[in-house]
Amino acid sequence: MAKSLLAQLREMTTVVADTGDIEAIEKARPQDATTNPSLLTAAAQMPAYSKIVDDTLLDAKKQLGGNADDAKIAKLAFENLAVAFGKKILQIVPGRVSTEVDARLSFDTEKTIEQAKSIIGKYENAGVSRQRVLIKIASTWAGIRAAERLEKEGIHCNLTLLFGIHQAIACADAGVTLISPFVGRILDWYKKDTGKDYQGADDPGVQSVTRIYNYFKKYGYKTQVMGASFRNTGEIIEIAGCDLLTISPHLLAELDSTEGTLERKLDPKKAQSMQIERLNIDQATFEKMHEADRMAHDKLSEGIEGFSKALVQLEQLLAKRLAELEAGSAKPVGAH
Domain assignment present for residue 131? The answer is yes
Give the three-state DSSP class for 175: coil
**Structural domains of the chain, count:** 1
Evaluate whether 335 touches 90 at the Cβ level (below 8 Å).
no
Residue 253: name the closest of 14, 15, 89, 48 by CA: 15
pLDDT in tens, the chain (336 residues): 689 999 999 999 999 999 989 999 999 889 999 988 888 888 889 999 999 999 999 999 999 987 888 888 888 888 999 999 999 999 999 999 999 999 999 999 999 999 999 999 999 999 999 999 999 999 999 999 999 999 999 999 999 999 999 999 999 999 999 999 999 999 999 999 999 999 999 999 999 999 999 999 999 999 999 999 999 999 999 999 999 999 999 999 999 999 999 999 999 999 999 999 999 999 999 999 999 999 999 999 999 999 999 999 999 988 998 999 888 866 665 554
Q: Which residues form the catalytic set?
A: 136
Domain assignment present for residue 335? The answer is no
Evaluate whether 199 touches 247 at the Cβ level (below 8 Å).
no
Give the three-state DSSP class for 98: strand
What per-residue confidence (pLDDT) applies to 332?
60
Domain assignment present for residue 280? The answer is yes
Cα 131 from Cα 21, distance rounded (Å): 22
CB-based contacts of 82, cutoff 8 Å, min separation 6: 35, 40, 99, 100, 119
Evaluate whether 6 touches 256 at the Cβ level (below 8 Å).
yes
Domain assignment present for residue 289? The answer is yes
What per-residue confidence (pLDDT) applies to 334?
57
Cα 79 from Cα 82, distance rounded (Å): 5
Domain assignment present for residue 39? The answer is yes
Domain assignment present for residue 334? The answer is no
Q: What is the CATH number of the domain that holds 12?
A: 3.20.20.70
Tell whether pTM > 0.95.
no
CB-based contacts of 336, cutoff 8 Å, min separation 6: none
Domain assignment present for residue 318? The answer is yes
Q: Which domain holds residue 39?
A: 5-327
Domain assignment present for residue 336? The answer is no
Give the three-state DSSP class for 32: strand
What per-residue confidence (pLDDT) applies to 133?
98
